[in-house]
Amino acid sequence: MAVSLVVLFFISLFLGRYPLSPNEVIKILASKFIPLQQPWDATAEAVIWKVRVPRLTAALLVGSGLSISGASFQGLFRNALVSPHILGVAAGAGFGASVAILLLEDPFLVQLAAFVFGLLAVVVTFYISRVYKESNTLVLVLSGIIVGALFTALISLIKYVADPFDTLPAIVFWLMGSLASVSNKELSVVILPMSLGIIVLLLIRWKINILSMGEKEAKAMGVNTNRLMAVIIVCSTMITASAVCISGIIGWVGLVIPHFSRMIVGPDHKALLPASLLLGALYLLAIDDCARMLISTEIPLRILTAIVGAPFFAFLLRKSKVGWSRS
Amino acid sequence: MVEKLKVKSASFSYDGKINIFEKVSFSIESGDVLCILGPNGAGKSTLIMCMGHILNLTEGRVWLYGRDMAGLNHRQIAQKIGYIPQRHNPVFPYSVLDVVLMGRAAHLGRLSSPGRKDRDIAQKAIERVGIPHLIKKPYTEISGGEMQLVLIAMVLAQEPSILLLDEPTSHLDFGNQVRILNVITGLAEEGLSIIMSSHFPDHAFVTANKAAIMKQGESMLMGEPDVVITEETMRTTYGVDVKILSLDSDSHRKVCIPLH
């Protein structure tokens, strides 16, 4: 899987509006490390380093990040229908971005607002769930649904008051997700929180098995369940909020890639998390290639992830063991 | 010598108003099997969860090997006490080996996962309960009796010296009930102390050297099974008439038979 990922990354580098041959791509990449003469023009170099490399890296990061948080959340909440957006990150981030598009227009502030409101939504979810004395994952999910519904309604409100010729389309496109505008600068901002979250989740991945047995069972096995839950939620939220702020809301990946992975490697989170990581990166890279290449204009990612993924998933469901209990 | 587990005037309340149980005191030593009887809602499960620190006592104290349990963390407790809840809802179809390996968590570092030694211990635990043929099977696709054995293997891999079993025989057929009880008796002979709850007085006669009867709002009655489980106490506890007989004249085995 890792090999196919590397191969696809290189193939993706020379796919695109601006035609580049594999030969040119390799030379341009190599010139960073060894001195080569410049037989190519500066535009080609700019396309590679300023447009395609950041965009593809973002696809890798967002795909792997959403998938690994999805897999962790499904284990934590003991539910295979859970996605990384369950605690309201996406709705919160969408609201933040919509408000910023409406009022501020500066793309950087839009991303910042998305990030901040994404985190805020999860914090609100968490505090609503604290109203009950017992920590209970079901209450947490319910609070997430409440917060999600509230922010979704607020997004609609913003859309309703937005200028239908100017800001409304911008909001709608933002919400549909795209990697088209990712620059090196933005990438350098999100890469740290995302990789940190991913690394921590990978380090504790075996413990997610224990948490998924149930809270009582996990406590009896000597696990500090509250702390472990908090770590998983913080990591996943950091990853998802960062992902949303550079790519907009991309659904489906974080829900379905863990399922694909479970079909391939089984339910053990020790294998499941690395598998989700690779498969998620591969999937979003491929989807983003389709988004760039299929028609002359960009297709929003949120549309493609589902249009390509849904039939494929339905097919797999018929074919193989699903990897969760039916009882 | 200090007791393995000592409980002194323990009370627990969910809402701070009504006590589920009140002023419960007892102690457990090596090889003890304590069987707790009592009607539904009497607080058997709650008491067992408090012993495992899954719930915290409202009042009273528990000492584990002479150390106050309130000062121990889950990990320290899990190294000494294994617990199987009354009902386990499986979600992901982990293999039997993966499930049993989870029992090793209390002995592993915060970021580590099980290694070769842990796998050996898990393997032994699986063999100990007699299900080596199931080792690779998803634990969601085996029978209820086998699943209970898997969970017992899991807590054995935890290498505790006290087992808390909340109705280990519920939902099991007659043969599996007896098989589980045999495993429990065997473990007690090896020196483990076991606290279990049950709905069957006979289970106490078969496995236990101590029996207790819980009833909401009343103090816990505890002692040798023959002394605690009498026709009188069964009538006051469950409201049914029973006859308690000796199985035969040689052994002390008793049986409890409902009359109506």
What DSSP string runs through B196-252? EE-S-HHHHHHH-SEEEE--TTSPPEEE-HHHHS-HHHHHHHHS--EEEEESSSSS-
CA distance A211 to A226: 10
Q: What is the DSSP letter of B158?
A: T
Q: Which residue from A277, A207, A295 is spatially nearest to A239, judged by alpha carbons?
A: A277
CA distance A78 to A86: 13
Cβ–Cβ below 8 Å for B90 and A325: yes
Task: State the pLDDT at residue B112.
Answer: 83
- Asked if residue B19 lies in contact with residue B60, where contact means CB atoms within 8 angstroms, the answer is no
Query: pLDDT tens across B39-89, in order?
Result: 998 889 999 999 999 999 999 999 999 999 989 999 999 999 999 999 999
pLDDT at A111 over 90: no
CA distance A301 to A288: 7
Cβ–Cβ below 8 Å for A324 and B103: no
Percent of chain B with pLDDT over 90: 68
CATH number at residue A271: 1.10.3470.10
Highest average pLDDT, of A25-29, A167-171, B161-165, comes from B161-165
Cβ–Cβ below 8 Å for A80 and B95: no
CA angle B55–B148–A321, rounded 5-degree value: 105
Task: State the pLDDT at residue A320.
Answer: 57
Task: State the pLDDT at residue B160.
Answer: 95
Q: Which residue has the tokens 């007892």?
A: B26
Cα Rg for chain A, rounded, in angstroms?
20
- State which amino acid sits at residue B227: V
| Cα dihedral B200/B204/B205/B208 (nearest 10) | 160
Question: What is the number of structural domains in chain A?
Answer: 1
Cβ–Cβ below 8 Å for A270 and B113: yes
The residue among B133 and B216 whose pLDDT is bigger is B133
Taking residues A47-57, what's their average pLDDT? 84
The residue among A241 and A290 whose pLDDT is bigger is A241
User: In which band, very low, low, confident or very high, does the pLDDT at A326 lie, cut at 50, 70 and 90?
Assistant: very low
Residues from chain B that touch A80, judged by Cβ atoms under 8 A, are 91
Query: Which residues lie across from B59 on neighbouring strands?
Result: B11
Q: What is the DSSP letter of B64?
A: E
- Asked if residue B139 lies in contact with residue B147, where contact means CB atoms within 8 angstroms, the answer is yes
Q: In this complex, is the C-beta atom of A159 within 8 Å of any C-beta atom belonging to chain B? A: no
C-beta contacts of A156-160 below 8 A and 24+ residues apart: A158/A95, A158/A98, A158/A99, A158/A102, A159/A98
- Cα dist. A10→A77, A308, B98 in Å? 37, 22, 38
Q: Report H helices in chain A.
A: 2-14, 22-30, 42-46, 53-76, 89-103, 107-129, 137-161, 167-176, 184-203, 205-211, 215-220, 225-247, 253-265, 269-293, 301-319
Residues 6+ positions from A82 with CB-CB distance below 8 Å = A70, A73, A74, A141, A255
Dihedral pair phi/psi, residue A105, rounded to 5°? 70, -30
Domain annotation covers residue A69: yes
Domain annotation covers residue A325: no
Q: Which pair of tokens denotes residue A127?
A: 């505090």
Angle at which helix A269-293 crosses helix A53-76, to 10 degrees, equals 140
pLDDT at A247 over 80: yes
Cβ–Cβ below 8 Å for A204 and B158: no
CA distance A38 to A272: 44
Query: Which residues lie across from B83 on neighbouring strands?
Result: B164
DSSP β-ladder status, B221-223 and B242-246: unpaired
Cβ–Cβ below 8 Å for A323 and B49: no
Write out the DSSP string of A62-105: HHHHHHHHHHHHHHHTT-TT--TTTTSHHHHHHHHHHHHHHHT-
User: In which band, very low, low, confident or very high, does the pLDDT at A327 lie, cut at 50, 70 and 90?
Assistant: very low
Q: Which residue has the tokens 């009370």?
A: B11
User: Lowest mean pLDDT: which of B97-106, B229-238, B248-257?
Assistant: B248-257
**HSE-up of residue A270 (Cα within 13 Å, Cβ side):** 15
Task: Provide the terminal-to-terminal Cα distance of chain A, rounded to the nearest Å.
Answer: 32
Domain annotation covers residue A327: no
Exposed, middle or buried, B196 (CB in 10 Å: 0-12/13-18/19+)? buried
What is the ipTM, given to two decimal places? 0.90
Q: In this complex, is the C-beta atom of A203 within 8 Å of any C-beta atom belonging to chain B? A: yes
Cβ–Cβ below 8 Å for B92 and A204: no
Within 10 angstroms of residue B71's Cβ, the number of other Cβ atoms is 8
Domain annotation covers residue A326: no
Query: pLDDT tens across A299-323, in order?
Result: 888 888 888 778 877 877 776 555 5
Nearest CA in chain B to A77: B91
Interface test with B, best of A133, A206, A262 (most B CBs within 10 A): A206
Highest average pLDDT, of A128-137, A312-321, B116-125, comes from B116-125
CA A248 to chain centre: 9
Task: State the pLDDT at residue A313.
Answer: 75
CA distance B14 to A110: 47
Domain annotation covers residue A324: no
Q: What integer best gives the mean pLDDT of chain B?
A: 91
Residue B78 C-alpha, separation from nearest chain A C-alpha, in angstroms: 5
Taking residues B177-196, what's their average pLDDT? 93
Q: In this complex, is the C-beta atom of A323 within 8 Å of any C-beta atom belonging to chain B? A: yes
Q: In this complex, is the C-beta atom of A209 within 8 Å of any C-beta atom belonging to chain B? A: yes
- Asked if residue A245 lies in contact with residue A115, where contact means CB atoms within 8 angstroms, the answer is yes
User: Lowest mean pLDDT: which of B72-76, B89-93, B256-260?
Assistant: B256-260
Domain extent for A192: 2-319
Task: State the pLDDT at residue A93.
Answer: 92
Q: In this complex, is the C-beta atom of A156 within 8 Å of any C-beta atom belonging to chain B? A: no
DSSP β-ladder status, B221-223 and B210-213: antiparallel
Q: Which residue from B254, B158, B153 is spatially nearest to B207, judged by alpha carbons?
A: B254
The per-residue b/e assignment along B108-142, b for 16 or more CB within 10 angstroms, e otherwise, is beeeebbeeebeebbbebbebbebeebbebbbbeb
**HSE-up of residue A143 (Cα within 13 Å, Cβ side):** 19
Percent of chain A with pLDDT over 90: 41
User: In which band, very low, low, confident or very high, does the pLDDT at A45 lie, cut at 50, 70 and 90?
Assistant: confident
> Which DSSP helix (H) or strand (E) runs through B19?
strand B19-28
pLDDT at B155 over 90: yes
